[in-house]
Amino acid sequence: MRLLVLGGTAFLGRAVARTAHAAGHDVTCLARGESGGAVDGVRFVTGDRDRPDGLSAVDGETFDAVFDVTLRPSHARHAAAALAGRVGHYSFVSTCNVYPDDATPGQRADTAKLHDPAPPEVDNPRDGQMEMYGPCKVSCENAIRDGIGADRVFILRAGLIVGPEDRSDRFPYWVARMRRGGEVLAPGSPNDSVSFVDVDDLADWVLLAGRTGLVGAFDGMGPAMPRSRFLTELRDALAPPGTTLTWVDQEFLVEQDVRPWSGERALPLWLPLPEYAGFMTRDVTRSVEAGLPARPIADTALRTAHWMESTPQDVKAGGLAERDEAFVLREWHTRSA
C-alpha cells in the first residue's frame, strides 16, 4: 500500500508511519518538520499546509491511502482539493469533542448529535479559541467528505490517546505515580468509568481501514472500564510492592481544589459527574466490530514507562504534585476518622 501521512512527525502520525513502514508499506510523510523528526527509513517531504499549495511536493503522485489529523478547516479544504482523484482512501482523525453532549452515557458515533461547524472566520482554535476545537473538527470532517467523497473517507473520532510519545500529562501522570508507589490517591468511585486507546492500536486500525476500505464515522477509543480496574492493573504492572489505593470522593476533591483531567493540581482522567458521565462511556461496539484492537493495560503502561525513562526531556510535568497529594490524603483520613 502506498500511504501518504500528512504530518508523521509527532505521536499518532509517527505511530502510523512507523507501523506502516514496519509492515512493508511505501510511506511518505509530508510536514513542516517542526514538531519532531521523521521515522527512520520513511520518505519525508517538506510542506507548509498554511499555504494553499502546501501539498505541492507530492503533485502528480497517487496514493492508496492518506492519513490526516489536522484541526484547521483550511488545511482540510486544501488537502481535499489537492488530492481529490488521486487517493483511494482517506483516514481523517477527528475527536470526540465534536459531540456537544458530554453527560449522556452510551452514545454512538453513527447517531450522536454533532456541534455545528465552525464559522468561516475561525480556522485555528489554538489561537485562543479552544472552545472551537470541536466545531473546527466538524468543519474538517465535512470538507474532506465533500472533497474526497464520502465513499472513500474514514472518520475516526478519537478519545484519549495514550502510549509512548504521549507528551500530555494525563496517562504519563499515572505511570509516574505508580512507579513512585506508596499510598496513591484514587479519585472518585471505583465504579467510575475510564476510557482511552493505545496509540499503536489506533495506528493498526488506521492501516486496517486503508487496506479494507472502511468508511463512515467511528469512535476511536477503547471500551469503558471501571476506574478500579484501570488503576489496579497499572499498579500491578508498575508499582513497587505494598502500593495501595485510597479512594477519595469527588465532593472532597472539589473542596480541596483538586482539578479534573490535566494541568496543575489535577488528577488526570478524572472528570466531574454527572456533567461528564458520557465523555468516557461511549458505545464503541461498532468500532470493535470494525477491527479496533485493545491491548492489555500492562502493555501500554510498560511501553510508556520505557519511553518516559529513555526520553525524560519529552515528558510533560503536570498533575497533582507529591506534596499536594500527601496533604489531601492526610485531610481525607482526618475527615474520615
**207: in domain:** no
- Walking along the chain (337 residues) 10 residues at a time, the average pLDDT comes out as 94 96 97 82 93 94 97 97 96 98 96 97 91 97 98 98 96 97 98 97 98 98 97 98 97 96 95 95 97 97 97 92 97 89
SS3 percent helix, strand, coil of the chain, rounded to 5, is: 40, 20, 40
| Bond into 274 cis (ω within 30) | yes
262 and 114 co-located in one domain: no
- Domain span including residue 22: 2-158
63 and 141 co-located in one domain: yes
User: Which candidate, 135, 188, 152, 165, places its Cα nearest to that of 7?
Assistant: 165
pLDDT 10s digits, 280-311: 999 999 999 999 999 999 999 999 999 999 99
Residue 87 corresponds to which amino acid? V
pTM: 0.95
User: Which candidate, 126, 187, 210, 194, places its Cα nearest to that of 162?
Assistant: 194
Element (H, E) at 207: helix 199-212
**25: in domain:** yes
Into how many domains does the chain fold?
2
pLDDT 10s digits, 122-137: 999 988 889 999 999 9
310 and 264 co-located in one domain: yes
